[in-house]
């Protein structure tokens, strides 16, 4: 019986701690006495460092880039070239280069067959006495070096006939 009395006394003594909160949410403090205390904001709540309940501000994004594409189309037998640069995608660049090749007098099947496209870089045509080479690279110099080497292995008197670049643009 003594043990039961001790448990009851401890329970009654701790019941005041439970009542002390008064049912106010975080950041609010009870004012007044029971049975009708009201909850008011605590001084300084919400100022200074952001709390975990407040959403943080979104971080600014870095620069955004859009890729650009270019293409070249050649009718070797007729010596006709079509080019396109700074297009939104490869398909548009290739279609524009083929259309220009045909408009310049190139044969449709030859213009479609001899096609080179690139993205975010450069394209070059090296033309020699009896051979032409198309190459692409990160820069005109890189593409030209390779095109002149391939052209020079197949014919003499190779020179850069066309170069164009399509680099990404920032938006």
For residue range 57-88, list pLDDT tens digits in order: 788 888 899 999 999 999 999 999 999 999 99
Under DSSP, the state recorded for 57 is P
**Residues 79-90: b if buried by 16+ CB within 10 A, e if exposed:** ebbbbbbebeee
In a domain, 12, yes or no: no
Q: What is the Cα–Cα distance from 28 to 25, expressed in whole angstroms?
A: 6
In a domain, 56, yes or no: no
In a domain, 105, yes or no: yes
- Sheet with strand 115-119: strands edge to edge: 80-87, 69-75, 115-119
In a domain, 14, yes or no: no
Q: How many domains does the chain have?
A: 1
Residue 122 confidence class, pLDDT cut points 50, 70, 90: very high
Q: What is the pLDDT of residue 43?
A: 76
Torsion angle (degrees, nearest 10) of CA 16, 22, 26, 30: -110
Q: Spell out the alpha helix ranges (H) of 2-160.
A: 2-19, 90-103, 108-113, 140-154
In a domain, 41, yes or no: no
Residue 50 has pLDDT above 80, yes or no: no
Q: Assess contact for 116 and 123: CB atoms under 8 A.
A: yes
In a domain, 88, yes or no: yes
What does the mean pLDDT of the chain come to?
A: 86
Residue 36: partners with Cβ closer than 8 Å, 6 or more residues away: none
Q: What is the pLDDT of residue 62?
A: 86
In a domain, 142, yes or no: yes
CA 54 to chain centre: 29
Range of 93's domain? 66-170
How many C-beta neighbours within 10 Å does residue 131 have? Answer: 17
Residue 90 has pLDDT above 60, yes or no: yes
In a domain, 131, yes or no: yes
């Amino acid at each position: 019986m003594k043990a039961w009395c001790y448990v009851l006394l401890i329970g009654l003594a701790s019941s005041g701690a439970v009542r002390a909160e008064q049912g106010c949410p975080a950041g609010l403090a009870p004012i007044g006495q029971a049975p009708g205390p009201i909850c008011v904001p605590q001084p300084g709540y919400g100022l200074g460092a952001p709390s975990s309940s407040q959403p943080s501000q979104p971080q600014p994004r870095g620069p955004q880039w859009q890729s650009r594409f270019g293409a070249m189309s050649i009718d070797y037998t007729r010596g006709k070239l079509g080019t396109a640069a700074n297009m939104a995608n490869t398909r548009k660049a290739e279609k524009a280069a083929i259309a220009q090749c045909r408009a310049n007098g190139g044969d449709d099947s030859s213009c479609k067959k001899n096609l080179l496209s690139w993205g975010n870089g450069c394209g070059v045509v090296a033309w020699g006495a009896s051979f032409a080479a198309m190459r692409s690279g990160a820069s005109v110099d890189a593409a030209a070096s390779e095109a002149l080497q391939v052209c020079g292995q197949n014919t003499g008197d190779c020179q850069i006939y066309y170069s164009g670049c399509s680099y990404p643009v920032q938006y």
